[in-house]
Amino acid sequence: MTSYRKVYAKLEELETDGSVLLRPLEYYAADYVKWFIREESIQVSRSDRRAISQIIDAAFLRPDALETYLEAGAPEEEVIGLRKAISSMVMEEDDQGRELFRKSLLENEEFYRECVEQVMRLSDSILEERNRELETSKADIENARSTLSDLNQSIEGLDSKKRSLEDDIERLASSLEQARSEQEAALGEIQSNIALRLGLKAVASQPVALHGPELLVTEGCLCDFVESDFDFEDVLAENLKKRGVTSVAGNPAVERGRLAVGVAAALAATKFIAIPQTVARQVADSLSVTVSGRSAKKVVVPADFRNVRSVLDAISGNEAVVIVDGIIDAANEGVLFALLSENVKPVVILPFVSHASASLIAKEAWGTMYLPNAESLSTYSCSTKGAKLQKMASRFMLPAVSADDALEEARDLSKELEQLDLAAEHCLLAAVVFRAIENLTDEELIERYVAQHLLMCSRCDESALETLAEWSEEDLGLIELSKKLGIHE
């Protein structure tokens, strides 16, 4: 006996060659593992049991090391037992239980049948649960199939709409192409028309032998007059009387005097005076002789006249007063506006025959030309030959109206006559005349001097007449004008 490790535990005597094991090898398992690790100098952590198992496997693959440890030969069946003992040391508890359970199932048939019966009983509830899950899955599958069917139908509907939109786009593209073709054709036609117009213009610019209607111009002549020291209004009123101007509606002398004041006040605002045809020539000559001693120059403009320059040239002389007849008419409205835009030297009398036609002229024209209170006057046919007209001995001085006074009066008129919807230029022109009349007469009812002009600036209807009739009391001229316009109540 050479080692304390050698213990004999067999009943029979063993044959040996000098060294025998006195204990079974499984009693040396733990001690052997420690000894092997120490002898081999292997570094192993306590927690790494798998690593220890690998070390043991390596140890059993070294029989020489095992015999050295035992100091004796190791029987093969003992080595196998030793390996199982050491493996149990490194195996997890769960693995051990599993191994024991497996061995029991293999070795104990009664236990095996009992386990099978228990598993079958448990499997029934599991199967029921799985069946329920299966039914739920089937329902989910059916719902998914229904949803898929709905989606397929939606996709088919969208495909149908897509095809419809594609057809619409194709039609629109075709229409667009057709429109482009038509546009190109139209542009070609326009270009052809432009070329034609340019050719016609070139031809029209060449002198031609044919001429349209021309202006009829009658020069004014020197009159046999007497000079007077009276005021402008008095001299003009007297000349109107000698030229046969009278009044049926009112007192002739009063109406002539008022017209003379109205003309003088109008000249403070504009040089374009609109006069009814019945007294236009008489007013023009009376005014011309009053300031210059000559009768008025007369220019008759044919209908639909286009040579505006010739009209302007005809009134550009040194005459004090010029009658321009035939332009307060729709056919010559262009000539009228061209004339009103000029800064002319003489006073321009603009006769009109038809009050209805005059009311149809663009209202902007009445912001520059003025209709004085002449509607209550007319002429009689008795001969006035031999009656000498009067000329002012002194120079006529226009009534002075400041810009501030004119603006203040224009605002007042706009407020008082708000129902007429008068434009600013209408109110301003009437305001200058209104303030000039205040400087020329002591009358209280001076609204009658501008009411007829304001009616022509308005809509020329019964509502406008009613408004002005309340504003201008006892206005005979306003009543006569409403009769001529066909709006008299």
Lowest mean pLDDT among 20-34, 35-49, 266-280, 339-353: 20-34
Distance CA 179, CA 346 (A): 59
The 3-state secondary structure of the chain, one letter per residue: CCCCCCCCCCCCCCCCCCCCCCCCHHHHHHHHHHHHHHHHCCCCCCCCHHHHHHHHHHHHCCHHHHHHHHCCCCCHHHHHHHHHHHHHHHCCHHHHHHHHHHHHHHHCHHHHHHHHHHHHHHHHHHHHHHHHHHHHHHHHHHHHHHHHHHHHHHHHHHHHHHHHHHHHHHHHHHHHHHHHHHHHHHHHHHHHHHHHHHHHHHHHCCCCCCCCCCCEEECCCECCEEEECCCHHHHHHHHHHHCCEECCCCCHHHHHHHHHHHHHHHHCCCCEEEEEHHHHHHHHHHHHHHHHCECCEEEECCCCCCCHHHHHHHCCCCCCEEEEECCCCHHHHHHHHHHHCCCCCCEEEEEECCHHHHHHCCHHHHHCCECCCCCCCEECCCCCCCCCEEEECCCCCCCCCCHHHHHHHHHHHHHHCHHHCCCHHHHHHHHHHHHHHHHHCCCCCHHHHCHHHHHHHCCCCHHHHHHHHHHCCCCHHHHHHHHHHCCCC
The pLDDT of residue 80 is 67
Across the range 34-63, mean pLDDT stands at: 66
pLDDT digits (tens, 9 = 90+) for 152-176: 888 888 888 888 888 888 888 887 8
Across the range 459-485, mean pLDDT stands at: 94
pLDDT digits (tens, 9 = 90+) for 244-303: 999 999 999 999 999 999 999 999 999 999 999 999 999 999 999 999 999 999 999 999
Could you tell me which residue, 465 or 125, shows the higher pLDDT? 465
Could you tell me which residue, 54 or 238, shows the higher pLDDT? 238
The pLDDT of residue 87 is 59
Instruction: Return the structure tokens found at 116.
Output: 């099978």
The listed range with the strongest mean pLDDT (7-16, 99-108, 295-304) is 295-304
Could you tell me which residue, 11 or 222, shows the higher pLDDT? 222
Say if residue 186's pLDDT is above 80.
no
What is the residue extent of each domain of the chain?
25-91, 119-204, 217-485
| % of the chain residues with pLDDT over 70 | 75
Residue 460 near residue 485 (C-beta atoms within 8 A): yes
Average pLDDT of the residues of the chain: 82
Instruction: Return the structure tokens found at 97.
Output: 């239980």
Say if residue 381's pLDDT is above 90.
no
Across the range 311-320, mean pLDDT stands at: 92
The pLDDT of residue 424 is 95
The pLDDT of residue 222 is 92
Distance CA 348, CA 408 (A): 28
Distance CA 227, CA 246 (A): 23
Across the range 101-120, mean pLDDT stands at: 75
pLDDT band at 208 (very low <50, low <70, confident <90, very high): very low
The listed range with the strongest mean pLDDT (14-23, 113-122, 127-136, 449-458) is 449-458
pLDDT digits (tens, 9 = 90+) for 331-372: 899 999 999 999 999 999 999 999 999 999 999 999 999 999
pLDDT band at 206 (very low <50, low <70, confident <90, very high): very low
pTM, two decimal places:
0.58
Residue 477 CB-density burial (10 A; 0-12 exposed, 13-18 middle, 19+ buried): buried
pLDDT digits (tens, 9 = 90+) for 404-421: 999 999 999 999 999 999
